[in-house]
Amino acid sequence: MMSLLTSMRALAVRQPTGEALRCLHLTAVTDAARKGTREKARKKKVKVEVKKVGFIPHNQRDKKINVKRADKHVDDSWKQVSKDDVYVGRYYRWPVYTVAEAIQCHRETHHPSMYNVPNAPLNVEIELNMQGEKATRFVDNFQRMAMIPHKFDHGEDRKIIVFTKGNEEVQAARDAGASLVGGIELIKDITSGELLLTDYQYIIAHPNILAELVALRGLMKRKFPNPKSETLGANLAEMIVKFSNGISYSASKDEYQQNFGLITASVGTLDMDAKHLEENISYLLRDVNTARPKRDGHFITRVLLKSAPSSEQLKIDPFVYVSEFYDKNAAKVKRDAEAVEETETKQATAVAN
């Protein structure tokens, strides 16, 4: 009996000491260590920002949120090709025309006996796969100018201002059709406010005036001549011709489908020579292909020829004019050439400075 009592007392006595011991372990040192790990874990966590959307009435939700949009990249390769000489188009693959055939088809519908618009503009719709090198990255919207061999009336008002020193270059630029050509005196006019740069859509410069032109960098901002956008170079006449006659086009991604890009551009009128139109199309396609991302697969997915007022869209094969797949070696060679060019222009600017 006594022994049992003593053992119980021992237990009762021991308990508080055990608690005290446990308390001893919760020191500031361990707490600090844990604090550090917690901080790390907190930093690791990426904050997910929830976009606040205003209340949308239930009867409009199907139109605004739960919309099922069809893929804009149309693939009809699963359909068969007809062997008959008369067939219903919707059961078969789209016919692929050559450019000459497509132009002939448009000329038929625009003939004086039908629509009577033989000089209608020929529009090209280029569909692009805007996916970048990674599946989640996309090519940015871009705006470019394609040089074309056969000029036509594009109906736009394009004013070009050219900065250059030296009488020969000034004369050459004037002959090429620049709206205004000048040197240091022009820069002074602009800085004093007598001349407005906003009146001119395009600014071109010769490297020999680059040092003085730096004063206008703040005014020109993104329009400041640079070799990448081909507004800075020694061959002024060619650049002016390009900017006054070229096709200005812009590729824009679809609002709801990021990997679908569309370019709509006019390449000439239907009464032009079919071969000239074909050459213009080929130059445009080659220019578009320079914006290609460094990945495998198609960039240009489909090219359609359209001409108002007819609603016909005729598919042509773009891979006659540009290479179908991404060529690593060609891209590498081009990059090297670009690098060489860049160093050259840098040297030129250094010399000018």
- The contact set with another protein (CB under 8 A) reads 82-91, 95, 105, 108-109, 112-117, 310-312
In angstroms, rounded to a whole number, what is the distance separating the alpha carbons of residues 323 and 289?
A: 9
| Residue pair 139/132 in contact by the 8 Å Cβ criterion | yes
Q: How far is the CB of 101 from another protein (least distance, A)?
A: 12
C-alpha count within 13 angstroms, C-beta hemisphere, residue 336: 5
State which residue, 29 or 86, has the beta carbon closest to another protein. 86
| Residue 152 C-beta: closest distance to another protein, Å | 20
Give the span between the Cα atoms of 122 and 305, in whole angstroms: 7
Contact 96, 315 (CB under 8 A): yes
Q: Give the nearer residue to another protein in terms of CB position, either 248 or 269.
A: 269
Least CB distance from residue 97 to another protein, whole Å? Answer: 11
The nearer residue to another protein, 87 or 325, going by C-beta atoms, is: 87
The SS3 assignment for 202 reads strand
Q: Closest Cα to residue 322, out of 353, 284, 294?
A: 284
Q: How many CB atoms lie within 10 A of CB 67?
A: 9
Strand-strand pairing, 96-97 and 313-316: parallel
Least distance from another protein to the Cβ atom of residue 73, Å: 21
Tokens of 346: 């840098």
Pick between residue 258 and residue 310 the one whose CB is nearest to another protein.
Answer: 310
16 vs 89, beta carbon nearer another protein:
89
Nearer Cβ to another protein (76/312):
312
* Residues 6 or more apart whose Cβ sits within 8 Å of residue 3: none
Measured at the CA of 290, the angle between CA 202 and CA 259, to 5 degrees, comes to 100
Q: How far is the CB of 90 from another protein (least distance, A)?
A: 6
- 284, 265 contact by CB (below 8 A): yes
Query: Cβ closer to another protein: 82 or 257?
Result: 82
Query: Of 312 and 338, which CB lies nearer to another protein in the complex structure?
Result: 312
Q: What angle do CA 283, 289, 293 make, to 5 degrees?
A: 170
One-letter amino acid at 176 equals: A
Q: 240: burial class by Cβ within 10 Å (0-12, 13-18, 19+)?
A: buried
Report in angstroms how near the CB of residue 75 gets to another protein at its nearest: 19
Distance in Å, CB of 72 to another protein, minimum: 21
CB of 95 to another protein, least distance (A): 6
